[in-house]
Chains A and B, each alone.
Chain A
Amino acid sequence: MKRARVAYAGAIHQATAHGDQLQLADGRVVAQDAVVWLPPLLPTPRPRTILALGLNYADHAKELAFKAPEEPLVFIKGESTLIGHRAFTRRPAGVQFMHYECELTVVIGQTARNVKRDDAYDFVAGFTVANDYAIRDYLENWYRPNLRVKNRDTCTPIGPWLVDATDVPDPMNLALQTTVNGQVTQSGNTRDMIFDVPFLIEYFSSFMTLQPGDLILTGTPDGVVDCQPGDVVVTRIEDIGALINTIETWPTAAPVVPPKGQT
């Protein structure tokens, strides 16, 4: 099943894929462009942990002139960086190099502590697609990649679907592809990950308990290129979905006026 979370007619709805339309939980069938797509997240009682991998494909590590890491290079995002499918991501004025990163994203389904790799998939609810944008101008060599690069507002589109794990028989053999304005700029396959999904679940759960709804963004293959305002970036993973995002200028042309009484 492909599940979505959308805003429609003034309320938030769970929805499922219905041909090329969407069926809301109340039965209504609506067009996919009639809704606002929200990140397809499971509810969590506490803030979700969002782990993201760097340099997890050997070709991408080479592209960025790093040797492949001997253990996972991982950083953490706050939930406020996430936005949904068909949304807009800001490119600050004056930056030189902002690129997408198409990433298979694991959604944890059960509390996971000291999990062994052979059992790892038992702890997965499903998969989605994330586009882990980076603005390389802001890289600094302290806890790199630093949050100014990786935790910016609007800079982690995710979705459109949460695809049930049972519908993804081999997560480690999925084609990834990114297009910019229709041109293919990135292609790869999840089989080329340095640290695969079962390894990552064993590794993280050995020191940190993962909870349902937590996310692991598993890194990106080579083929990252600079994106400019107006570019339409589609990050696509076989059987999981095609996540559409558009780059916009920031600050916007219209001035942001402070609310009354707060000057």
Chain B
Amino acid sequence: MSTAPPFMPEGTVYGTLLNFQGEIEALAPQMSEAPYKAAPSAPVLYVKTANTWSANGSGIALPATTQQVEVGATIGVLIGPQALVKYAQTAIISIAHYVLMNDLSIPHASFFRPPVKYKCVDGFLGVGSQLVSAGQAGDPARFKLEVRVNGELRQRIDFANLVRSANQLLADVGEFMTLQPGDVIMLGCDAGRPLAQAGDRIDIYAPGLPAFGTLSNTLLPPQSPDASVEGAP
């Protein structure tokens, strides 16, 4: 048994849209149309605010108006203490660790405006408890994930299908903002994201890399307003 306390981020957690080929293919017919008018040229990021963070094993209460959520299984890159040293057009990247994440969303069809009300709902980010070092994890292009809902395999994800590799993503993000030590950037959620509802247990596992452990969260029915608790969920 590991005695290390479960991981919880200390910096900003960024998510990445459209970093899987499958997402690009699914949206390709719309990309040249309004409101998008073109495929994005830079990484498309969003923030999972601290109120969304749910520890491995914890329940996640759905909002009263939400019947189903999309499961966004992914791997986060935790930026190491040496962070990003930038000069000229290149970047030196020190990746400290990787961690499983379950980036829940209220399903939304438009990606034109920032997804705050769909993605920053209390509890909507499951955070894996195990950090895996870059050395132990190996090449992120070889990561694979399996997503189970109530024990049934619902999605397989292969990080060989990333649009930008982890290194390329960090370099392209570093062009416009400095990721700080402690920040986490998620590599993306592939298309075909399973839907889940209250009562469902979601398990995310990385076959071949048992060091990640399993990230498990159970969706709970809406809390009544009377049951609201002070402080973070």
Contacts and interface: CB of A to CB of B under 8 A. Distances in A.
A140 B11 contact: no
B139 interface: no
A47 B232 CA distance: 12
A47 B117 CA distance: 19
A256 B46 contact: no
- Chain A interface SS verdict (over half): loop
Interface residue tally on B, bucketed by range: 35 or more
A145 to B, nearest CB: 7
B28 interface: no
B229 to A, nearest CB: 8
A190 to B, nearest CB: 22
Given A140-B44, A208-B49, A258-B87, A73 B177 contact: no
A210 B92 CA distance: 35
A65 interface: no
Given A75-B114, A113-B228, A142-B18, A211 B176 contact: no
Interface stretch (A28-36, A78-86, A222-230): A78-86
A77 B176 CA distance: 13
Interface string B60-91: 00010000000000000000000001111000
B50 A143 contact: no
Contact of A142 (B11, B111, B233): B111
A10 interface: no
A258 B94 CA distance: 14
Interface range on chain A (Cβ under 8 Å from partner): 35 or more
A227 to B, nearest CB: 18
Nearest to B115: A143
B199 interface: no
Contacts of A78: 12, 14, 47, 177, 183
B42 A46 contact: no
A211 B37 CA distance: 38
Nearest to B114: A75
Contacts of B169: none
Contact of B46 (A73, A76, A257, A262): A76
Contact of A147 (B51, B86, B176): B176
A253 to B, nearest CB: 13
Interface in B13-30: 13-14, 17-18
A142 B232 contact: no
A47 B46 contact: no
A23 interface: no
Given A209-B232, A211-B232, A80 B12 contact: yes
Interface string B25-46: 0000000000111101111111
Contact of B85 (A47, A148, A211, A262): A262
Interface in A196-231: 207-211
A51 B117 CA distance: 12
A151 B44 contact: no
Interface of B: 9-14, 17-18, 35-38, 40-47, 49-53, 63, 85-88, 92, 111-117, 120-122, 176-180, 183, 225, 228, 230-233
What 5 pairs between A and B have smallest CB-CB spacing? A78-B12, A76-B47, A46-B50, A75-B114, A49-B49
5 contacts: A140-B38, A144-B114, A208-B49, A208-B122, A256-B87
